[in-house]
Amino acid sequence: MERCATRLADGRELIYYSARDAARAAVAVPDARVPRAAVAVTEVRHDPLGGAPVAYATHRQDRTHLPPAEECPLCPSRAGRHTEIPAADYEVAVFENRFPAFSGGAGRCEVMCFSADHGVSFAGLGEERVALVLWAWTDRSAALAKLPGVRQVYCFENHGAEIGVTLTHPHGQIYGYPYVTPRTARALRAVAEHRERAGANLYDEMVAAERADGRRVVRESAHWIAFVPHAARWPYEVRLFPRRRVPDLAALDAAARAEFPGVYLDLLRRFAGLFGPGAGSTPYVAGWHQAPSGIAARQREDFALHLELFTVKRGPGKLKYLAGSESGMGAFINDVLPESAAQRLREVHA
């Protein structure tokens, strides 16, 4: 695999990844646009009652919103139409977000384009391309984790208009948070308390319990297990764990990496077929939970890398809205039993 980095006209970093020695040719094409002045300013405030940070990035109000396909900023550049990707073709490309949620040395935000093909979805990619994406996720996670203003790295994809996607080109994002996210902080506390109380790893016991029960397991292979969690918050929610506990993507072994593309594509295609023909695309969020940087060695060792995949769709034409209870009190009420969700996902022809 090949990795080549360059700079866009305004100084933002752009990196091409290729499985076929195409990155070197892509990086040779310069950004022909006139540089724009940087306007990204982010402020992070702390909520004393909620105990969580809140980021303010007012420049994002002006970000590109659902442009027509011929004006997509993530497609390759062509004569008379220059985009964020100067090359005429690419396999996987990563660049610093022009409208970042975090900036100025306190965190970093990147965009990852999974394909130059505007009309393909992640579920429509081949296994070779998914392997390249996994390598790029791993490479960028390691690079961002080393930055002094980054505490936690989150690679994720938002798919579907119902999720709030503003660009329909197949892409995801990588956030380098300047703090440990509230959800991860809660998980770290729970894992530490369980270690002190029971002398065992909470993640390991959770995965073992799901395997023993079996009712919520969607897919199991030699190196991965996917299940609907016992207390799922979303109508259809799956967590994908490597069978060998590791703290982050960089720690995955070669066997788990080799098996991941087939397992993940199977899950995405099951999600796509959840509601049957004519129901339209299934919107989803998929993201990697990795151990934060700068935490104690014991905490890092106890953390378990996993991918979370969920949809806000609860039935044909029906969405799960985060209304009063969820938005106001953070108290989820689910309309679908986890056992029923897992059974449905097993039944879908991937």
Q: How do the domains of the chain map onto residue ranges?
A: 2-177, 182-347
Q: Read off the tokens for 183.
A: 């959800």
Question: In this predicted model, what pLDDT tens digit does every residue of 213-264 receive, in sequence order?
Answer: 999 999 999 999 999 999 999 999 999 999 999 999 999 999 999 999 999 9
* 189: CB partners within 8 A, 6+ apart: none
Question: In this predicted model, what pLDDT tens digit does every residue of 258-285 receive, in sequence order?
Answer: 999 999 999 999 999 999 876 678 999 9
Is the CB of residue 131 less than 8 Å from the CB of residue 159?
A: no
Return the exposure string of 316-346: e unless at least 16 CB atoms fall within 10 Å of the residue's CB, then b.
Answer: eeeebeeeeeeeeeeeeebebebeebbebbe
CATH number belonging to domain 2-177: 3.30.428.10
Question: In this predicted model, what pLDDT tens digit does every residue of 140-156 receive, in sequence order?
Answer: 999 999 999 999 999 99
Closest CA to 170 of 75, 311, 266: 75
Pairing type for strands 152-159 and 171-177 reads antiparallel
Closest CA to 11 of 38, 43, 49: 38
DSSP-derived secondary structure letter, 161:
G
Q: Read off the tokens for 101.
A: 């949620």
- For residue 81, count other CB atoms closer than 10 A to its CB: 12
- Homologous superfamily of 182-347: HIT-like (3.30.428.10)
Looking at residue 350, its pLDDT comes to 58
What does the pLDDT average to over 24-41? 88
DSSP-derived secondary structure letter, 317:
T
- Report yes or no on whether pTM surpasses 0.75: yes
Q: Read off the tokens for 57.
A: 């990035």
Tell me the catalytic residues: 171
pLDDT band at 349 (very low <50, low <70, confident <90, very high): confident
Decide if 2-177 and 182-347 have a common fold.
yes
DSSP-derived secondary structure letter, 125:
S
